[in-house]
Amino acid sequence: MPSSRSTAALIGIALLGIALTACQDQASGQVVARSGVRLVETLSNPPIHGCHRFPEGVTHVENQTQSNLVLYTAPDCTVPAGGQSNYLDIGQSDQVASVTSPWLSFAFAPE
């Protein structure tokens, strides 16, 4: 019966891996923020909960994480009057049009 024990152990390890991934509190990957061509910030494995404020307004954001995020023109992840937000899919980037305000914050979209 060594074969069934090995199989059971492999299944147990696989289930543990799935459970740990489901309980993850961090987005795997990076969020890269730029102002024009200048790098402003790179966040590695940021927490998925809460609002994340950029140190200054950014015009370009690359979502290199495994989670979707929402960009905001307000520093507190809200949409003020005349402001906007933008949904950014996994692996996508966004360029702000020159007539809009820069992105000041982001939050991860609920899954």
pLDDT in tens, the chain (111 residues): 456 666 665 565 654 554 445 456 888 999 999 998 999 999 999 999 999 999 999 999 999 999 999 999 999 999 988 888 899 998 888 776 555 789 999 999 987
Question: Would you say residue 81 lies in a domain?
Answer: yes
The residue segments making up the domain with residue 86 are 26-108
Question: Would you say residue 41 lies in a domain?
Answer: yes
Q: How many domains does the chain have?
A: 1
Question: Would you say residue 9 lies in a domain?
Answer: no
Question: Would you say residue 75 lies in a domain?
Answer: yes
User: What CATH number does residue 52 fall under?
Assistant: 2.60.20
State the pLDDT at residue 33: 95
- DSSP secondary structure letters along the chain: -HHHHHHHHHHHHHHHHHHHHHT--B-SEEEEEEETTEEEEEEES-BSSS-EEEEEEESEEEEEESS-EEEESSTTS---TT--EEEE-TT-EEE--TTSPPEEEEEEPP-
